[in-house]
Amino acid sequence: MSTEDKLFGLKPGFFSGVLTQSLKQLLFLRYGLYESSQLKLRALPHPIVSGVGFIQNSEGERIEDGMIVGTVRMGYGHHRMAYSLYSWAMHMNQKPYLHDLLAFDCHEAVAIKDIDGFYSSMSRASSEMGGVIEWTWGQLMSQGNIGSLQFSLEFAERYVNLLHGIPSDLPYISTYPLNGQIAVAAKFKKVVHLIPDNFPQYYLLVPGALNLVQSPSAYMKFIEMGIPKESLAIAGHWVSHKIASNAIKHSEERSSRANRKAVKRILLAIGGAGAQKNYTLGLISSLEKRLKDEKLQLYINTGDHKGIFAEIREKVNELGIPHTVVETWSDLQKFCEERTLDKTSEPVTPPIVFFHFANYFEAFTATDELICISDILMTKPSELAFFPIPKIFIRRVGDHEAASAFRSMELGEGTVECREVEHAIEMVKLFVDSDEIFHRMNECVIRNSKEGVYDGAKNAVSLAS
């Protein structure tokens, strides 16, 4: 394909093109990207999910059939999307292999890790400092123009060795644009790409692939941006099999729990960049009396963030709020089994339960498990904004996330974005002191589920098969 064809017939501006080439030269020289690492790609068992192959540079299973699910370990969102795909793939009798660009010990991966490190540090700074820092970062996160897509495509051409030896006739589903762009550059015959968030930007696209979006509004915006209809399709939300297939059942059980006046369980999920520390500290302080009076239960998944876990727990100890900690996958499974939404009795549980894990895969997957036993999810408007559970949205990290909160609001199963802790507390009171909004949100989840809104990952697997 010519450069113009790769960019859907669009052209970057002159200065954008110059900037792209300058940045490319800088990164290629800095990380030695003009020379490709020699990799021997094989599959080992996934650390958590039985039946999934995890592609690494090592001895192991040859990859000869099945489906490749591409992602990158940047935060939790892209891996959560991948998890939704391979959970559905296994349910549909497909053999999935997880292809994580950061799973390889090579200079190509180091370049991506450093970029991710910068992203995470800036996300934390914007969240904690606010003001000019937050505004600047928000602007940068919503400026993915055609020049940034051109840069990413040229970057991808130097990364085709990260697919060396994997048959190009296998379907490749990507959850991060660079993955899909590498697959296209490596001449994979069928590439399906899942677009995250709900804010259309050029750099999120994979020319040469079928690009799937989660909402009609995102689809129409991409059309307005000049993207050909044959390159786009609306699939629905990226939700794992266990959650999507039980969305109606769990919503009915949540309403039943409210009817019998069960204590509301609120799950607060810390994102992969770890940008919600101060917000969470303020939230716990403001909820101190309600927690001590056992008016609600707060589940806090701190993922694999050691520092954040330590600081939040120190605050809880300072306030004297009873709590416990779950730190192993087996203990998490036991905790969830004893507290399924349909149980009319449960073990005595302190008002705060921390979940903290040393393993990255356990860290983000735990949130999916906990959603199945929680009444309400508190989250920034990330990929979790698209999950079928009543949601209270806390402060976003990057302006692009605002559109995801709007999507949830239009579906009737999420609140406005609560940028200040005081606003979030008002939302908590609304859910805990009265069940009207809570019941209404569960009814909306049921309606949306019947309409297939949460079947995006299922549909993506079908399209790639």
Examine the pLDDT at 445 and tell me if it is beyond 60.
yes
State mean pLDDT over 385-394.
Answer: 97
Q: How far apart are CA 95 and CA 53, in angstroms?
A: 8
Examine the pLDDT at 122 and tell me if it is beyond 90.
no
Tell me 420's DSSP state. Answer: S
pLDDT in the model for residue 358: 92
pLDDT in the model for residue 423: 96
State mean pLDDT over 262-271.
Answer: 94
More confident residue, 148 or 312: 312
Tell me which residue of 207, 214, 215 sits closest to 180, measured CA to CA.
207
β-strand 414-418 against 53-57: which pairing, if any? Answer: unpaired
The rounded mean pLDDT for the chain is: 88
State mean pLDDT over 105-132.
Answer: 57
State mean pLDDT over 27-47.
Answer: 79
Domains of the chain listed by start with CATH number: 3-237 (no CATH), 242-453 (3.40.50.2000)
Q: Give backbone dihedrals phi and psi of 211, rounded to 5 degrees, phi first.
A: -95, 120
State mean pLDDT over 370-392.
Answer: 97
Q: How far apart are CA 465 and CA 463, in angstroms?
A: 6
Tell me 390's DSSP state. Answer: -
Q: Which residue has the tokens 């309409």?
A: 451
Residues 390-413 pLDDT 10s: 999 998 877 888 999 999 999 999
pLDDT in the model for residue 26: 72
| Poorest-pLDDT segment among 45-59, 170-184, 234-248, 320-334 | 45-59
The share of the chain scoring above pLDDT 70, in percent, equals 87
User: Which pLDDT band, with edges at 50, 70 and 90, does 2 fall under?
Assistant: very low
State mean pLDDT over 224-238.
Answer: 96
Q: How far apart are CA 174 and CA 181, in angstroms?
A: 9
State mean pLDDT over 439-445.
Answer: 98
